[in-house]
Amino acid sequence: MTLDKINFMNLSYLNAGGNLFSDPLLTQTTPLFDFNTLSFNPYMNMDTFVPTYPTMQNFNFNFEMPKFDMSMLMDMYNATIKNYQNQMAKFQDLLKNTSFVYNTKPTESLQDVNFNQDKAKEMAKNVRAHAKNKSSGNCALYVSNAIEESGIPVTRGHAFQMENNLRNNENFKEVSITKDEFASLPAGCILVYPKGVAGYSSDFGHIEITLGNGETASDFLNKNPKYSENMKVFVPVTA
């Protein structure tokens, strides 16, 4: 190993403006590594001074550097990268299948927004026309079809994913409703239940559209819709 720019600790002497090698008497009489006497510049260039001062050449600079197995380091690096990629893949998969429940509730009521009654009634009519007597597990498909048949574009997904899809759709607004208002909701309100809410699927949640008569519909006609504080209510609005 060369002695180029060895990092010694603490520099009070040189930082104060002194020059360790400017005084020949000092360099000849003071051992180089007497840390009780001198402080050293951690970036002194040893190649510059060793040939010049015999005193320094009299000391044995025996520094042994450990030998690294580069193949071992590469294996460690590759394993770390692979582990990172696996963890990111799991995280992305988790995001795709996670329903984020927002702690803040919307402050606007149905009366506060520009409720598009025509589109709402059309959506309710469309979903009711295709609803069956029993669920086939395709609630999000039937609701999305009813929305598009009314002329409103919508991003599709599982029931629980429709919460974010509708929230990010400029044609809809999320509104706040009370339990007392639930039974009298007009036709065309979209109810989104996150995973496991109100007893619906813990894997996909549920989504349906109100019909204006106390009933709702998706892939099936629901005569007893369920209220939950965790459900989300979206309505079509005019620009």
pLDDT tens digit string along 38-96? 444 444 444 444 444 444 444 444 545 555 566 777 777 788 888 888 888 888 877 77
Best CA proximity match to 205, nearest among 146, 153, 135, 155: 135
Distance, CA of 198 to CA of 233 (rounded, Å): 14
Helix, strand, or coil (residue 201): strand
Determine the Cα angle at 118 with ends 161 and 213, to 5°.
75
* Beta bridge mates, 210: 216
Q: Count CA within 13 A, CB hemisphere, residue 97.
A: 9
| Range of weakest confidence among 18-32, 68-82, 211-225 | 18-32
> Is the pTM here over 0.85, yes or no?
no
Query: What are 205's two structure tokens?
Result: 């949640």
pLDDT tens digit string along 136-177? 999 999 999 999 999 999 999 999 999 999 999 999 999 999
Residue 15 pLDDT grade (very low, low, confident, very high; cuts 50, 70, 90): very low
3-state secondary structure 120-137: HHHHHHHHHHHCECCCCC
Residue 144 identity: S
Query: What are 23's two structure tokens?
Result: 């005084």
Distance, CA of 124 to CA of 143 (rounded, Å): 9
Query: What region does 151 belong to: left with phi over 0, alpha with psi -120 to 50, or beta?
Result: left
Best CA proximity match to 199, nearest among 163, 226, 180: 226
- pLDDT for 156 equals 96
Query: What region does 178 belong to: left with phi over 0, alpha with psi -120 to 50, or beta?
Result: beta
Sole residue written with tokens 């520009």: 114
Which residue ranges form the domains of the chain, and what is each CATH number?
Answer: 1-66 (no CATH), 110-236 (3.90.1720.10)
| pLDDT over 60 at 193, yes or no | yes
